[in-house]
Structure 1
């Protein structure tokens, strides 16, 4: 059987799903191939389940914060089995809704393994063990990414866990070592600490959240320590040893840390394998699908989202998918220029960054200044008994080029900050905007109006 479409999308994660819907909305005949579950890593093993777990346990730090002020007493205990049941039902309902949306949009959903069988042809081995040939005018590859680790830290699913394993645990480990303090490690550390695990967070770089502003990182580390998480930065794992009690992690020549389980969260790698692609791009790189300025691999093929290695974030992937669909449909021309992309860390505290850090601008020879404001003076932060944290604004002359923040609820500010960076706001624009009172947004205003240094 042969089917023909204007635009064929491989992969139904954030990038592929967005690309397919955009293509169909533009009137192009569209098919979407997925070998596993709709939603990709983001829905099934990443963004959504972690936020569900963090949201469900949010009352724990909130009650603890009010109790420290002696304003009352109480407790909240989350049920891991109930959380897993809720996760399963929520994800299934979301996938069902996605399927209905695709049907309504007139998109053909094909379940199976695909391979490139010609310059404009794909062969799909469907789940019922039949083959479907699909001819296309444009192909959009949205292959996603996978957890990455060195051989020393290879998970076994028992004592040594990946984030996938951790999200499926039916019981809470008594103690947990989290290796890697990027966004994934930080969020998982917070969740398991709330659930009662004794958590040790280990990062090889000199600070946790190593890609972020140093002052933001320092405050983040201080807040996590205050919550009971043991934070070890500048610590290299040399060996893992399984014991009768769990696992022993050796740091350097003399120091050891033990726990019942270890979670490896040292990063992700782009998925680059797509059968048959090597016949079109025999000299391609292996670590990512290297695209041109229009996100294209060849005359007929795009690669979007995590697989091209540009920015491994779901919202960046969606934006790339929509761009590729519009470009493939002839509605826009390149190059792809997404503007500032926000980076977020969830939990309590939260953190975000839009634009470069001061370190990065100095490394690139750009003269910049910073202004900042503390959350301690903010009435909303005080009401939440969470006065720790700050907002920082990075300036080049009189133009906002970056915003960073850490603290309780600061992700409420991220879209406003992204608009300001994208539009290159000046101090006068901030002065002429009315910020609602009382809100966390006022701390962003104070940071904008403080004299840069």
Structure 2
């Protein structure tokens, strides 16, 4: 018989929840996680991991199509769409099993069913057969994550108007797709489908694609996407989607108020995420919610003692690595340790389109807005020996420094494998290394990462290879 009393119960087993539970176990707390769907949450089952598998398939297909550039002859390569989808699901399934193994190894109880918090530090779990069990804990963490946001004009029906989940398990590859929204999810799926031959139109309400990135990244990616055959409509709003016929008729309006219609097989709505706050007992317990997010302090305490919240349900970037970091800090505080609060200005963001995007800290415009006088260094991969050898000359590294003290305010990268390079910047920003120190940090040759040192040298007028 499983126990009904714990030191900690976590609602949700995503990258916030399962990481919090494991850290709690390491610190000697008896922990349990409640999960209504798949262990590992959206990130692992329907988000970060399976999408990266699909993107890898698209990249391999592109390599084969450009094999002649590398002196290799390949005939008649075909994209097996269902094979790509199967591989992606297999990768996700094996990762989910991995998390279940980690939970068992750390003696964390898995309570499968719909969890709801109750007053008096209790959690009700209703399993798939409708059986109800009440558990109690000294501490309860809400980590219920988020889901795709819907716009009134683009209601997801999962047949013709789809969200990200359906986009990675379609039965057949669409010939034409309209992608609404050009954040990470939008541009990643646009790249995947375009690479395997779907005709793609991206519609973005803001004046540029990937609008949260530095302006130069947006401009460069738009150029690359257009060259790859995608149509990109910025400052444009989808006003309606007619799904009555065989496909979809998408009506959109630009900022001048001009309307037009485009036909496609499928519309992918990729307009952000909203928190899962419904039917989990927040009102019953009296937990404060503001603008669709649970209100917490710097250690993720809600207004009710013993109740905490982390991840996509609190304000801050809706990213897996943020949820994990928050979970660890929250649990360490619960266990009586003195963790440092999270620095939300030093959180890396990665987008796995091709070329990849990675950034951290201030954009050039935001740094100036904040009152900094800046030094900017930009090094293009076209000047990198490794990038040339790899056939990956698109993109650049752009660094933004505070002119007064040499502090690295932000970094913005577009290029092959830059998502693997951004961690260096996060570490050196945490350690407060100056521009001069970065220039004197010897980087290995030939690597893509040399571009970081070179970009710093550009900012200070010391660049050798430009």
- TM-score, reference length from structure 2: 0.92
Q: Check 1:286–1:357 CA distance in 2 against 1; reply closer, same or farther (3 A cut).
A: closer
1:314 Cα deviation from its structure 2 partner: 0.5
Q: Which whole-Å CA distance do the structure 2 matches of 1:409 and 1:76 have between them?
A: 25
Structure 1 Cα separation of the partners of residues 295 and 208 of structure 2: 30
**Whole-Å Cα distance in 1 between the matches of residues 358 and 113 of structure 2?**
37
Higher relative contact order (CA 8 A, sep 6+): 1
What SS does structure 1 have at the residue aligned with 2:236?
Answer: coil
Structure 2 residue aligned with 1:246? 247
Aligned to 1:131: 132
Q: Report how far residue 119 of structure 1 moved.
A: 2.6
Number of the residue aligned with 2:108 = 107
User: For residue 332 of structure 2, what is the aligned residue in structure 1?
Assistant: 326
Q: 1:390 to 1:129 in 2, by over 3 A?
A: same
CA contact (8 A) 2:288 2:294 kept: no
- Residue 272 of structure 2: aligned partner: 267
The Cα shift of 1:83 comes to 2.1
1:339–1:332 CA distance, 2 compared to 1 (3 A):
farther
How many residues align? The count is 452
C-alpha distance in structure 1 between counterparts of 2:342 and 2:268, whole Å: 36
Rounded Cα–Cα distance in structure 1 between residues aligned with 2:66 and 2:137: 57
**Residue among 371, 375, 386 paired with 1:369:** 375
**Structure 1 residue runs of 4 or more that deviate by more than 6 Å after TM superposition:** none
CA distance in 2, matches of 1:70, 1:328: 55
**Is the CA contact 2:325–2:342 (under 8 Å) kept in the aligned structure 1?**
no
Q: Matches of 1:79 and 1:308 in 2, distance apart?
A: 40
- SS of corresponding position for 1:9: strand
1:333-368: CA deviation from partner (whole Å, max 9, x where unpaired): 564445610011103110111101111122222322
Question: Cα offset for 1:421?
Answer: 2.2
1:48-447 residue pairs with structure 2 within 5 A?
48-65=49-66, 67=68, 69=69, 71-74=71-74, 76-242=77-243, 244-252=245-253, 253-281=258-286, 283-285=288-290, 287-297=292-302, 298-332=304-338, 335-337=341-343, 340-397=346-403, 398-447=406-455
CA contact (8 A) 1:327 1:334 kept: no
TM-score (norm 1): 0.95
Deviation string 1:251-297 (CA, Å, 9 cap, x unpaired) is 22432221111111011111122533213326532511121122111
CA distance in 2, matches of 1:97, 1:166: 24
Contact 1:178 1:262 in 2 (8 A): yes
Q: Residues of 2 paired with 1:405 and 1:333: CA distance?
A: 30
Change (3 A) 1:254 1:432: closer
| C-alpha contact 2:329 2:341 (8 A) present in aligned 1 | no
Q: How far 1:249 sits from its partner (Å)? A: 1.3
RMSD: 1.9
- 1:83/1:62 CA distance change after superposition, 3 Å: closer
Q: CA deviation at 1:310?
A: 1.4
Contact 1:119 1:300 in 2 (8 A): no
> Contact 2:141 / 2:308 at 8 angstroms: preserved in 1?
yes
